[in-house]
Amino acid sequence: MRFLFIALACIGFASAITPVNAQNKDVESAVLSSPLPALNKPTLSVGFDASTGRYGDTDPTNTFVVPLSLRLPVSSSFTTSASISRVQISGPNVVVGADGRPLPGVGLVRSSRSGLGDLSLGATWEIPIKSDHWSVQASSRIKVPLGQKSKGLSTGKADYSGKVEVTYIAFPFAPFVSVEYQVLGKPAGFELRNPLNTSIGTAWISGTNAIITSYDYNRSISPLVKDGHSVFGAYSMPVSKKVRLTLYGIKGLSAGSPEVEAGAMFSLTL
């Protein structure tokens, strides 16, 4: 069933980590939130994510992210997580904003840079309700600014978020809706606003396989960029008793979203 995250300790890896997210789409959470069997176990995940978009600029910004995350269930209803990513970004002078979303910066110089991204710590609580069909989760997350602000890989400020997700389980389908509110740090030189993000979609479950689709809305974190509208699709399947592979893609419907994004994630049950 569904799980959540809170603070763990920093994991020292040579390469970087943050949630596997498709411009604010936490793919790992979307998969683990699906009512798939035997997912409430410690999980180590690694993947890659590539995207391109103009985000209101004339030139495209291309990003390539290699995320690593660790998820530890504390109980059957409470889960913690930590994640970080190695980020490579090429495009106009932008920084990686909250949850990896490009944010217009100051100046018009196109540049390429790479390095460690921000650390994300989270916690998820499955709210107990007397129903076999309904699942309600509350989660929180904090972004610890470990990425280099001087290289345009972080805002240099901590961000906080809270989310509620409701799922109706009626096999083989599990429609869901989520609402998230983020409180962003205010770096000097940037006018950021706190966004409200929503998602509505469904999972189709067949044994240990899942197909997940959703429509996602992300309020712009900058007045210089339009709100984000996009559609998301993922296919998750086991490749062995301990390893799960998830393939996903996103198609942006507005200038505030990536034009195209795709990625893959391998999750190892510990």
**CA angle, 30 as apex, 251 and 36 as ends, to 5°?**
130
Band (pLDDT 50/70/90 cuts) for residue 259 is: very high
104 has which bridge partners? 94
Find out whether 65 and 49 touch, Cβ atoms under 8 Å.
yes
Question: What is the residue range of 260's domain?
Answer: 4-269
Nearest to 3 by CA among 140, 129, 161: 140
Report the predicted TM-score, pTM, of the whole model to 2 decimal places: 0.85
Least confident span in 36-45, 110-119, 207-216 = 36-45
Give the type of residue at 41. Answer: K
pLDDT reported for residue 187: 81
Higher pLDDT, 70 or 171: 70
Q: Which residue in 99, 144, 100, 101 sits closest to 121, CA to CA?
A: 144
Does the structure show a pLDDT above 50 at 1? Answer: no
**Span 154-168, mean pLDDT?**
92
Residues written for the chain: 270
Q: Whole-number mean pLDDT of the chain?
A: 82
Number of domains present in the structure of the chain = 1
> CATH code at 211?
2.40.160.40
Distance CA 207, CA 204 (A): 10
Interatomic CA distance for residues 211 and 34, integer angstroms: 9
Alpha-carbon torsion 174, 197, 119, 18, what sign? positive
Q: With a cut of 80, say whether residue 123 has pLDDT above it.
A: yes
